[in-house]
Amino acid sequence: MDHFIIGTAGHIDHGKTSLVRALTGKDTDTLKEEQERKITIDIGFAFLDDNTTVIDVPGHEKFIKNMVAGVSTIDFVILVIAADDGVMPQTREHLDIIKLLDIKDGMVVVTKSSMVEEDWLELVIEDIKDFVSDSFLADKPVVAVDSISGKNIDIVRETIERAKEKVISKSKNGVFRLPVDRVFISKGHGTVVTGTILSGSTKEGDLLKVQPLDKEVRVRSLESHGKKMDLLKTGDRAAINLHGISKDEINRGDIITTPGYLKPTYMFESNLFLLNSSKELKNRERVRVHAGTSEVLGRVYTLEDSKLFPGEKGLVQIRLEDKLSISIGDRFVIRTYSPQVTIGGGKVITTSVKKIKSSDSERIEMLKDMNKLDPAGFIEKIIFSKNDKGVFLKDLSLEITMELDDTTRFVNELILGKRVLSDGKKDNPFLIEVTVYKKFRESILSSLENFHLTNKHKIGISKSEIKSIACKRSGQNFFDLIIKKMLEEKLIEVEDNIVKRFGFTPKFDKEMETLINKVYNHYDNKGFNSNPPKEIFTQFCNTEKLFYEAISILIQEKKLVKINDNIFLSGSGYEKLIDLLKRKMKENGEIAIKDISDNFNTSRKFSIPILEYLDKNKITRREGDIRVLA
């Protein structure tokens, strides 16, 4: 059976700890100060049975941050209200926090019922029902108990058992995440951390990371409810003995996680809800952010209006003063800096490395969409946000803190739906969102069209040139995938790194056609002994530029081979060179400068650059004064 976590909530001195003692037989006030002052200061733990933990939280307003840490991972809340007091300030704040953390199940327990008259108890219960009427507790049981005598404690237990039966089984898959709520030293064993596992699983020997410290640790041993365990999974209360770290290095609020995931952030975005009881929230207001078992100071930057009003939701970016290990979909609560009062909360839409301005309408609209989407749609938006950078599948998995297998499944769904493009590599494909592809596809087609209009006699443009024009800031993986898809769609042709529109044929006027023929015949006749272009162009045309255009066309048509800026061979001349190379390799396995000079009646001035060209193109490899096949 899956582990079941119960949390108490309620005003100070309303009997939460006494109720937990009545349910479990254990006193959760273990600190000396708690016992002396008879109030709960920190979160306490007790076991109802082998699979059920009860977390007792403090009710005093000074210890609300400990209360948030305690209830952040629970399945079921017991809202405790004393019959002699009724609903009090911390009752209201605790219920607000529970609602903001999206806890779905629970009950109300009215304590100290024997201290009041029956008619007063009825009035209190009616008042409580009215108080919870707009919350998830509206149709939940309200049970009056006496923790000292044990009156109706059995009904509370029965209600808990029914709630446990409705809990959906928790998967052990996913990225391992445990928010630390306690750290201590176990004599003879070392550092131990405790917490409730939010996702994933772990076993003895696993390597994990402590965030935001970014320190690798190894699981030495595992316990749950005081019993040694081989494996712990989502929802389990865990005590993990860690090797490789001291007690002083870990704090409450740190996250123990799968290496590579959950990188700490200084910024995240959310659709923040402001409580009706709050004052209006102004742009850049300083707040306390509570997430999991962490508390970090930060400022709220409103993205749609200059302020947020009570009872409203609004897109915000929260910029933190310290790193926080938080993930997409996590719930958080914000409290005012001073005096400390809970004012709102929400769910993380994305984490960021870049500040968002209210004028960034495209990014804001995307955030609005992401807030409403299913996992596949959400992933699509993340890929879209990468624009001309694209993203590798494994990097995407790390960014959204989703197990690689699950990320792959959703990405494949998007690929099949033609919403995302992939380069098809098995281990770690590169991904582009399809509307981004279409935008850059049109840019490339437009650039090619312009090039062909102004260069009708040229076959096309080099890949590097078209990238610098149409995809200037993109990475090479992005550009290569765009070109690959355009080839598949028969929109372009690429040969020898020259790109042209599909079906394009260069057109030459008679003057250019005559020049091209003359230039070709010159190099074909001269073989390996032609002078540099700048010394001979006047024999053919008026400008060196026009001569080089003719050479460029001949190279694209594979009628000329460029050895270097001064030496060009005709296609037939280059074929003779390769034939000589093959013959020499067959005869004695090598070729030398003298072989080139003797066979083609040329000097070292030509022979050396020709062999260097063969080396550069990995046809040959130099070994001393000779060349062998590469």
Bond preceding residue 179 cis, omega within 30 of 0:
no
Is pLDDT above 80 for 57?
Answer: no
- pLDDT for residue 533 is more than 50: yes
Note the Cα 624 to chain centre separation in Å: 52
134 in the same domain as 15: yes
* Phi, psi (rounded to 5 degrees) for 466: -65, -35
Query: Quick one: pLDDT at residue 119?
Result: 93
Q: Is the pLDDT of residue 58 over 70?
A: no
Tell me how far apart the alpha carbons of residues 79 and 56 are, in angstroms, rounded to a whole number.
11
pLDDT at 506: 81
Same domain membership, residue 155 and residue 9: yes
Full-model pTM: 0.68
Q: Is 171 within a domain?
A: no
At 62 the pLDDT is 46
Q: Between the ranges 169-178, 379-388, 402-411, where is the mean pLDDT highest?
A: 379-388
**Percent of the chain clearing pLDDT 70 (strictly above):** 93
In this prediction, residue 335 carries a pLDDT of 92
> For the chain, how many structural domains are there in total?
5
Same domain? For 118 and 91 the reply is yes
Same domain assignment for residues 422 and 502: yes
pLDDT computed for residue 124 by the predictor: 94
pLDDT at 400 over 90: no
In the block, which residue shows the tokens 């390769």? 578
Do 415 and 481 meet the contact criterion of CB atoms below 8 Å apart?
Answer: no
Q: Give the domain-ending residue among 462, 491, 507.
A: 507
Are 315 and 407 within one domain? Answer: no
Q: Span 140-144, mean pLDDT?
A: 95
314 shares a domain with 199: no
The CATH number given to whatever domain includes residue 284 is 2.40.30.10
Return the structure tokens found at 417. 């739906």
pLDDT at residue 326, rounded to an integer: 86
Residue range 264-282: average pLDDT?
Answer: 92
Instruction: Look at 199-213, 380-394, 544-558 and tell me which has the smallest mean pLDDT.
Output: 544-558
Q: Are residues 399 and 444 in the same domain?
A: yes
pLDDT at 352: 81
Q: Do 443 and 323 belong to one domain? A: no
Tens-place pLDDT, residues 11-48: 888 888 889 888 888 765 443 443 443 333 345 777 78
DSSP per position, 66-93: HHHHHHTT-SEEEEEEETTT-S-HHHHH
Give the span between the Cα atoms of 285 and 503, in whole angstroms: 61
The secondary structure of 467-480, three-state, reads HHHHCCCCCHHHHH
Q: What is the mean pLDDT of residues 314-328?
A: 92
Residue 172 lies in a domain: no
CB burial string 249-261: b at 16+ within 10 A, e below: ebebbbbbbbeeb
pLDDT digits over 413-461, tens only? Answer: 999 999 999 999 988 999 999 999 999 999 999 999 999 998 887 888 9
Residue 62: CA atoms inside 13 Å, Cβ hemisphere, count?
4
Which one, of 240, 230, 262, 164, lies nearest residue 195 by Cα?
240
Q: What is the pLDDT of residue 40?
A: 37
3-state secondary structure of 37: helix
Phi, psi torsion values for 62, nearest 5 degrees: -70, -20
CB atoms within 10 A of CB 533: 18
What is the Cβ-side half-sphere exposure of residue 358, based on CA atoms within 13 angstroms?
13
For residue 59, pLDDT over 80 is answered with no
Mean pLDDT of all residues in 248-277: 90
3-state secondary structure of 523: helix
| pLDDT of residue 70 exceeding 70 | no
Out of 80-84, 493-497, 514-518, 527-531, the most confident range is 80-84
Same domain assignment for residues 422 and 298: no
What 3-state DSSP class applies to 302? strand
* CATH number of the domain to which 160 belongs: 3.40.50.300
**Domain check: are 362 and 386 in the same one?**
no
Q: What pLDDT is attached to residue 226?
A: 80
Other Cβ atoms within 10 Å of 624 Cβ, number: 7
Q: pLDDT tens, 337-349?
A: 988 889 999 999 8
Asked if 495 and 531 sit in the same domain, the reply is no
pLDDT at 362 over 90: no
Residue 404 in any domain: the answer is yes
User: Please, where are the H alpha helices in 151-204?
Assistant: 153-166
> For the chain, what is the total number of helices (H) and then of strands (E)?
19, 35
Q: Are strands 106-111 and 142-144 parallel, antiparallel or unpaired?
A: parallel
Q: What is the pLDDT of residue 31?
A: 38
592 strand-pairing partners: 626
Residue 69 pLDDT > 60 = no
- pLDDT band at residue 289 using 50, 70 and 90 as cut-offs: very high
User: Which of 241, 257, 273 is at the close of a domain?
Assistant: 257
Is 170 inside any structural domain?
Answer: no
Q: What is the CATH number of the domain that holds 395?
A: 1.10.10.10
- On whether the CB atoms of residues 145 and 160 are closer than 8 A, the answer is no
DSSP lists the bridge partners of residue 332 as: 346
Q: Binning pLDDT at 50, 70 and 90, where does residue 316 land?
A: very high
- Separation CA 373–CA 313 (nearest Å): 17
Domain end, chosen from 343, 366, 389, is at 366
Domain range spanning residue 533? 510-629
Looking at the fold, whether 64 and 146 belong to one and the same domain comes out as yes
The pLDDT assigned to 36 comes to 40
Q: Which two tokens stand for residue 5?
A: 């976590």
Task: Give the C-alpha separation, 325 to 259, whole Å.
Answer: 13
